[in-house]
Amino acid sequence: MAKIEVIKRSGMREPFKAEKVREAVMRAGASEKLAEKVVEKVKRNIYDGITTNEIYNIAFKFLDKERYSIASLYDLKRAIMRLGPAGYSFETYIGEILREHNHRVMVRQILRGMCVEHEIDIISYNGSNGYTLIECKYHNKEGIYTGLKPVLYTYARYLDLCERWESDRDCIRFGSVMLVTNTKFSSKAIQYAKCRGIELLGWRYPKDNGINSLIESKGLYPLTILRKIDPVSKRKFADANIMLIKDLVYMKLEELSMKTNIPENKLRDIVDEAKNIIY
């Protein structure tokens, strides 16, 4: 094969690496045999200057024909971006992920700092590390990095709340601070966070323990990964604080219908799709 370069979302060019495609589809649950088929399909359709988005679409369409459920899991990053135009659902979703990883969680709390009040996205407690202040930065478009500014204001909130605790010991004492995003971090954001001791959780960051790993390790896939869910039903699930497809599988249809006000006959198709992905 002639040398092929791929254009990343940042505009940078890099050599095409078949292994990246293979690893991505295998993370979604594809067998080695199916992954190799996807790679061959991509190789037959690529050209010099192809974008990473085009490569993704080629792989996705092929998976969609071969294994519908694996295509859905391969679509995880975009599914998170479909949570909503604002960050409200993302905060709830991150809270559910942390609960499943043994954290006690409070979402959207108003706390008074030394200077002003702050609406804190998530307060997490897991015993050994005490309380963690968590700020969520949500993006609903691809190719956007979470930069230095969100790290700076997250740290500023943390300092204001810590200073309040110094004068009022009845307040929550935060032992750590974290910024969570569904994208990647810029190099300056990572540099500053390391300097100030701010925890970062993003897409494939930290390496091998990013938000994608926390999701995949316990099957904590969002409802937006489903294709048979319409916008109205999605909103009703969110209003009922149901964010994970595994919750659909383990809940009785009657109970689910009562919580969401979605008819059972409509729920049945949605739940069947969720079962196909989970199992």
Distance CA 26, CA 31 (A): 6
Q: Given a cut of 90, is residue 271 above it in pLDDT?
A: yes
Residue type at position 53:
N
Question: How far apart, in Å, are the Cα atoms of 41 and each of 7, 34, 61, 169, 179?
Answer: 19, 11, 10, 62, 38
Cβ neighbours of residue 187 closer than 8 Å, sequence gap 6 or more: none
pLDDT at 87: 57
Q: Which two tokens stand for residue 142?
A: 């691809």
Among residues of the chain, what percentage have pLDDT more than 70? 98
Residue 146 gets which letter from DSSP?
B
pLDDT at residue 36, as a whole number: 96
pLDDT at 175 over 80: yes
Q: Averaged over 167-189, what is the pLDDT?
A: 93
CB atoms under 10 Å from CB of 234, counted, come to 18
Q: Is residue 5 scored above 60 in pLDDT?
A: yes
Alpha carbon distance 43, 231 (integer Å): 36
DSSP conformation letters of 177-210: EEEEESSPBPHHHHHHHHHHT-EEEBTTBSTTSS
Residue-wise pLDDT for 60-96, tens only, equals: 999 999 998 899 999 999 999 988 765 568 999 999 9
- Kindly state the average pLDDT of the residues 166-188: 93
The pLDDT value recorded for residue 88 is 66
Q: Residue 143: is its pLDDT beyond 70? A: yes
Residue 1 pLDDT > 60, yes or no?
no
What pLDDT is recorded for position 85?
A: 66
pLDDT in tens, 191-214: 999 999 999 999 999 998 999 999
pLDDT band per the 50, 70, 90 thresholds, residue 163: very high
Q: How far apart are CA 74 and CA 205, in angstroms?
A: 18
The rounded percent of the chain whose pLDDT value lies above 90 is 78
**Residue 75: what are its φ and ψ, rounded to 5°?**
-90, 15
Its pTM stands at: 0.89
CA–CA distance, 75 with 60 (Å, rounded to integer):
8
How confident is the model at residue 3, as a pLDDT?
81
Write out pLDDT tens, residues 110-140: 999 999 999 999 999 987 778 999 999 999 8
pLDDT digits (tens, 9 = 90+) for 234-255: 889 988 889 999 999 989 999 9
- Average predicted confidence (pLDDT) for the chain: 92
